[in-house]
Structure 1
Amino acid sequence: MPKDEGPARGAPRPGSAATKRRPVMTPAMGLLLSLYVGSLLAWILARALCGDRWVVALTLSQMGPWLFLPSLFFAPWVLLGRQPLGAILLAVPAGLFLWYYGPMLLPPPAAPEPAVPLTVVTFNLQATNPDVAALVRVLETSAADVAALQEVHGWQHSALSAALAGRYPHRWRDEAGGLAVYSVHPIVERQVYDVPAPEGAEPPWPIQSAVLDVRGTPVHVLNAHLAQTGIMPLLGRLDAEPMQTFAAARVAQIDRIGQAIQERALPAIVACDGNMTDLTSAYAGIDANLQDAWRERGWGLGHTLLVPRSFEVASPVNLAVLRIDYLFFSSGIRVNRVRVIPGDSGSDHRPVWAEFDLAGAPGAASHP
C-alpha cells in the first residue's frame, strides 16, 4: 500500500491563512460603487450643461465636500478585496475631491507684511439671535477695521451700536435688506442696489454698497445676503420650483454685484452669506471675476454653517458642516491672512476674517 506522504514540501496546509480566500467585493457592493461614480460623472456633466437650473445637480452641488464622503465607505472593500476595477472607480471621487479641495488642505505660504492693511470680517448674526453680548465679544476680539454684517435686526443694530460706538464710529444699516457695515474708516458713499426679481419670484435681498476712505484710498465694500436654496422646499412640497426660483434670484444678485463693481471702477471687497457651496455654478460665476480669500490663503475646508442650530434646534453642540460665508476681492488687492473665527456667538454662522493689503490699489499710500 503506497505511503501517504502528505502535502508537498512548501505547500500551504489546509485551513492555513495562505489557503483562506482573500476578501472580495460582493456584486452588490460593486454595483453600488458603479452607481455612485456614475452619479458623480452625471453631476459634472449636468452642472456643465445646466448649471444650478437643474434641481438635482443643484442639490448635489450644495453638499460641498460631503458629496465625496461615500468614498470612505467603499474604500475598505476595494483595498481589502484588491479589486483593480474597484480601485479605478474609486479613483474618480478621490481625484475629484483632490481637484476641488486638495489645495485648501495645504498650509498657505507665509505672507509679507501688508503695506496698506485693511482687515474685514463678514458675519451673519442670525436675526433671532438674542445673545448680543456674544456678538459684541466676537466683533471686538476680531479687531476688524470693517464688519460686514447680515441678518441684522433693528434691535440688534441698536444694541451693537451702543456697545461698539467707540470701536466703529461709522455705522450704516440698510433696513430693507437687514445688512449693516461698521467701519473705523469713513463711509464716503452709500448706495443700495435693488435686484430685479426673476419671473414669478419676490425680489431678492438688495446689495449694500459702501465706499470707504481708507487713509486716502477709496475701497468699494459690497455686503450681500444671497438667496437660500436648501432642499427643504423640495422635500416639503415635492416641488423643484422653489429651489429653481431661489437659484435664479441668487444669480441675479451675483450679476448685480458684478455690475456695481464695474460702475464704481474701484478696488472692491465683497462680503456675503452666500448660501451656496463652492461647487455651485453660482459660486463659479462670482469666482470668475473675483478672488476667493479663503482659497487664496485659507487652510482647511473653512466650514462656517453650524448644525443643528441652522435648523433652529437647540443643542449644546453645534458642528460647522459647510462653507457658505465668503470674502471675495478684486484686482489691486492682495489677501495676506484669512481665518474662521471659532467660538459660540449664538449665531448659526461663524465669522470669516481676512487681512487685505491695498498696496496695489490706485492712490494707495503705505501706512506709517
Structure 2
Amino acid sequence: MNSFRHKVSLIYAGFILVWALSRWLIQDRFWLFALLNMLAEYYFVPLPFLILMALFRNEKKALLSLAVPLAVFLIFWGQLYLPKFPRAWTASHPALRAMTYNVLVTNRNPQQIIDVVVEAAPDIIGFQELSRHNIPPLDAGLLAAYPYNTFAEFTGARSDVGLVSRYPILSVERFSFPPEERAMHAVINWNGRRVHVFIVHFTANNLLQQTLAGAPALATERFGQRAYQVQRLREEITGLDEPILVLCDCNMLDTSATYTAMSEMFTDSFKESGWGSGHTSISSFIPIPYQRVDYIWHSAEFLSTHTVVGNNQSSDHHPVISHLMLRP
C-alpha cells in the first residue's frame, strides 16, 4: 500500500511538473495548453489531502514527491495566502478607493447595483457591461454621492464601460480596443493630482456556448484577441508619466500569458494587498465564485494597501475594491 501511494504521489507530482513546464515554455500559444492553464488552480485540490495522508502514514518518499507540486503552488499563489502588514507611512497618507464592477448586461435590478456601490463606498467605480437599461437609474441613484461620470459617452452598444467618480473628471476618450471596443481612458483630479484611469473589458472565452468541434478555433481566436488588447493598452500608456489605474474585467486568469504581459506593465492590486483566492466570477451552474477574472491594476506610483472582493447581488461578477496610496 505504501508503494501504491508513493506511485500516486509520483504521478501527481509529474503531472504538475509537466503543466508548470508547459506553462513556462508554451504559455497560451497553443489552444489546448491555454485551456489547461485556465484550470490550473484546481489541479492542486488533491494536494492537501495527499500531504495529510502521507504525514499520517509517515511516508517520507511520498512527502518528498509532493514537495514538487507544493513548491509550484507556492510560486504561483503563495503570495495570496501570506499575511499582509501595513507600512508605517501609510497611516498618514490619503487613500483613493477604487472599484471595478461588471454589472451584467442583462441585469434589470439597478437598485441592487447601487446598493453594492453604497456598501463598498469607493471613490471611483469602473463599470463593465453597462447598458441602456441600467445607465439612467444608475445616473440618478449615484449622482448625489458621485457627481462626475462618463455616462454621456455611452455609445448605445449592447455592452459598454463607464466611470463614476467623487472627483472631477478632467477628460474622457475612447481608444481602439477591438473587437467590441469596450475601453475608455479618463483623467481625474484626485486632490490636485492627475490620475489616468483606464476602464477596459477584455474579450470573454464563451467556450461553453460553442460545440466541442468548434472549441479549438474559438479558443485560439479569443486568446489571440486578448493578447492584442493587452498590446493596445500598452500602446495607450506609452509616454504617460503620471499615475495610472486599470479597472478591468480582464477575462483571464493569473496563469495566462496575458496576465504575464499585464504584470510587466502594472501591479495586480489583489496579489499585492489581498488575501485568499480572490475569485470573482460566478455562473448559473456554479453559484459560488470560481475564477479570478476582475482586476485593479496600478502603475509604480501607487501602492495598494488593502484589496477585497466585494459583495454581489444581481451580477455574475463580484466587484473588487482596492485602497491605493501614492508612494512617498
1:352 matches 2:320? yes
Aligned to 2:165: 183
Aligned-residue offset at 1:305: 1.4
Q: Which AA in structure 2 matches 1:338?
A: T
Structure 1 gaps of 5+ residues are 1-22, 197-202, 361-368
Q: Which AA in structure 2 matches 1:85?
A: K
TM-score in terms of structure 1 length? 0.81
Aligned-residue offset at 1:25: 4.3
Cα distance change, pair 234–69 in 1 and its aligned pair in 2 (3 A): farther
1:293 matches 2:262? no
d(CA) in 1 for partners of 2:298, 2:183: 16
* Deviation larger for 161-170 or 56-65: 56-65
Q: 1:118·1:355 contact (CA, 8 Å) conserved in 2?
A: yes
SS at match of 2:24: helix
Q: 2:20·2:72 contact (CA, 8 Å) conserved in 1?
A: no
SS at match of 1:138: helix
Aligned-residue offset at 1:279: 1.2
Listed one character per residue, the Cα deviations across residues 79-108 of structure 1 (whole Å, up to 9, x for unaligned) are 455444322221111111122222221221
Aligned to 1:145: 123
Alignment of 1:306-325 (within 5 A): 306=282, 310=283, 312-313=284-285, 318-325=287-294
Instruction: Give 2:237's match in structure 1, choosing from 261, 264, 271.
Output: 261
SS at match of 1:321: coil
Aligned to 1:366: none
Listed one character per residue, the Cα deviations across residues 238-289 of structure 1 (whole Å, up to 9, x for unaligned) are 5411111101111111111122112433210011111111111110110112
Aligned-residue offset at 1:38: 2.5
Alignment of 1:333-344 (within 5 A): 333-342=302-311, 344=312
Aligned to 1:70: 46
Q: How many residues align?
A: 322
Q: 2:10·2:66 contact (CA, 8 Å) conserved in 1?
A: no
Alignment of 1:87-236 (within 5 A): 87-111=63-87, 112-113=90-91, 115-173=93-151, 174-175=154-155, 176=157, 178-196=160-178, 203-229=179-205, 231-232=207-208, 236=212
Instruction: Give 1:303's match in structure 2, choosing from 268, 279, 285.
Output: 279
SS at match of 1:319: coil
Structure 2 gaps of 5+ residues are none
Identity of aligned residues (%): 26
d(CA) in 1 for partners of 2:192, 2:292: 34
Aligned to 1:43: 19
Cα distance change, pair 94–230 in 1 and its aligned pair in 2 (3 A): farther
Cα distance change, pair 25–154 in 1 and its aligned pair in 2 (3 A): farther
d(CA) in 2 for partners of 1:276, 1:93: 23
Listed one character per residue, the Cα deviations across residues 284-319 of structure 1 (whole Å, up to 9, x for unaligned) are 11011211111111122211112xxx2x35x9xx31
d(CA) in 2 for partners of 1:272, 1:303: 14
Q: Which AA in structure 2 matches 1:356?
A: L
Aligned-residue offset at 1:116: 3.8
Instruction: Give 1:271's match in structure 2, choosing from 247, 250, 254.
Output: 247
SS at match of 2:238: helix
Alignment of 1:12-91 (within 5 A): 23-26=1-4, 31-75=7-51, 78-91=54-67
Q: Which AA in structure 2 matches 1:347?
A: S
d(CA) in 2 for partners of 1:180, 1:274: 15
1:327 matches 2:327? no
Aligned-residue offset at 1:135: 0.7
d(CA) in 2 for partners of 1:106, 1:87: 23
d(CA) in 2 for partners of 1:61, 1:50: 10
* Deviation larger for 51-60 or 158-167: 51-60
1:250 matches 2:232? no
Aligned-residue offset at 1:347: 0.8
Q: Which AA in structure 2 matches 1:132?
A: P
Aligned to 1:7: none
